[in-house]
Amino acid sequence: MTRNPDRPLSPHITIWRWGPGMLVSILHRMTGGALTVAGLAVLTWWLWAIAAGQGAYDRFAAHAGEWYGLVVLVGLTWAFWQHLLSGIRHLVMDAGAGFELRINKLFAVLTIAASLFLTALSWFLALEVGQ
């Protein structure tokens, strides 16, 4: 596809007022990208380390336990729940439902609130109950 660069682009995020629907829509893309790049890399590294044996697994676990490892793992946990919940929102909207302004806004806000809650719950269960 070719585009004449002299022609203007349609109004985009630079001029539209932000709302929950826009935020959740772009978060769905960003979390999807993060889960693809970082999530699948960590998952594959983890599986490879298990297969490679105790030494490789210890090296993985050492990185996972460092501050930057925990930042990535907590971030991925949030990205997982946010993408799952906004994905459900997209499936509902694909079915033609949930486009009324009030419901749409409420659903969008709920995905953010629930993803933060589920991230906190996941790590509470992992750290408190796991001990």
Quick one: 35 or 72, whose CB is closer to another protein? Answer: 35
Min dist CB 22 to another protein, Å, is 15
Looking only at Cα atoms, what is the longest distance across the chain?
A: 62
Give yes or no for a contact between 79 and 86, defined as CB atoms under 8 angstroms apart. no
Quick one: 64 or 112, whose CB is closer to another protein? Answer: 64
Q: Which residues bind another protein (CB under 8 A)?
A: 1-3, 29, 32-33, 35-36, 40-41, 43-44, 47-48, 50-54, 57-58, 61, 80, 84, 87-88, 91, 94, 122, 125-126, 129-130
Q: What's the CA gap between 128 and 33, in Å, rounded?
A: 30
Quick one: 2 or 18, whose CB is closer to another protein? Answer: 2
Give whole-number Cα distances, 44 to 49, 51, 102, 113, in Å: 8, 11, 41, 29
Min dist CB 51 to another protein, Å, is 4
Quick one: 42 or 108, whose CB is closer to another protein? Answer: 42
Residues 6+ apart with CB under 8 A from 80: 31, 35, 39
